A and B are shown apart, each in its own frame.
Chain A
Amino acid sequence: GAVVSQHPSRVICKSGTSVKIECRSLDFQATTMFWYRQFPKQSLMLMATSNEGSKATYEQGVEKDKFLINHASLTLSTLTVTSAHPEDSSFYICSARDPGTGFYEQYFGPGTRLTVT
């Protein structure tokens, strides 16, 4: 299957700082990427859908000014958590849709564990 990378895998930051997470599709061009958040023992929560060259579509309740998404190329999307607070500590996972097969399957990156102190 297709490969999606994510960087960093783990980050610890102080409250009030910003953190950028990168998501890359390594062997395919992803016109659409997705950002999810998952708290311990809870299910995946879709935060936003990112389309290359256009503004991201945010899910209800997700602050677009706090979670900045940029999908500048067909292989790279970034999520910036601005002015992070301890309640933003979570597991952030990106996924990319492989358009090649026409079946809309998504491949997930390995995730980024964010801890805000």
Chain B
Amino acid sequence: QKEVEQNSGPLSVPEGAIASLNCTYSDRGSQSFFWYRQYSGKSPELIMFIYSNGDKEDGRFTAQLNKASQYVSLLIRDSQPSDSATYLCAGQSAGYGGSQGNLIFGKGTKLSVKP
């Protein structure tokens, strides 16, 4: 069973701090990883994706991928109360046939940024 694991939280950080969200995955064949943000009552929104080992930065967000450790993380710098949401990590399935390329989602980590 291919899985993506996340700590459900809640993770609470003060405004202006760095929020660190972590994710592990079991499918060694997965190539691409995605971070989505979901506000309460809304659908998920793609923040960024990463497919190479190392860091990828986009504004206040930095995604980190370590394929050897099967570990993905998302850092949010200068956290704002508006960043309070559930963050979903997803890995692209390396399966065959119909499931190839499908995203496997973690259950999400709830982030709360306190003013």
* Bound-complex Cα distance A107 to B41 (A): 17
Known interface pairs A108-B36, A110-B42; 14 further A-B residue pairs with C-beta atoms within 8 A, sorted by A's residue number: A43-B108, A44-B44, A44-B105, A51-B98, A91-B41, A103-B32, A104-B101, A106-B46, A106-B103, A107-B46, A108-B44, A109-B43, A110-B43, A111-B42
Any B CB within 8 A of the CB of A57: yes
A57 → chain B closest CB, angstroms: 5
Interface residues of A toward B: which range?
A: 20 to 34
> Given A51-B98, A93-B43, are A105 and B105 also a contact pair (CB < 8 Å)?
no
* Bound-complex Cα distance A109 to B51 (A): 24
A95 → chain B closest CB, angstroms: 8
Any B CB within 8 A of the CB of A75: no
Query: Which residues of A are interface residues toward B (Cβ below 8 A)?
Result: 1, 32, 34, 43-44, 46, 49, 51, 57, 91, 93, 95, 97, 103-111
Q: Of the candidates A34, A51, A57, A108, which one forms a contact with B45 in the assembled complex, judged by CB atoms under 8 Å apart? A: A108
Which B residues touch A110, using CB under 8 A?
A: 42-43
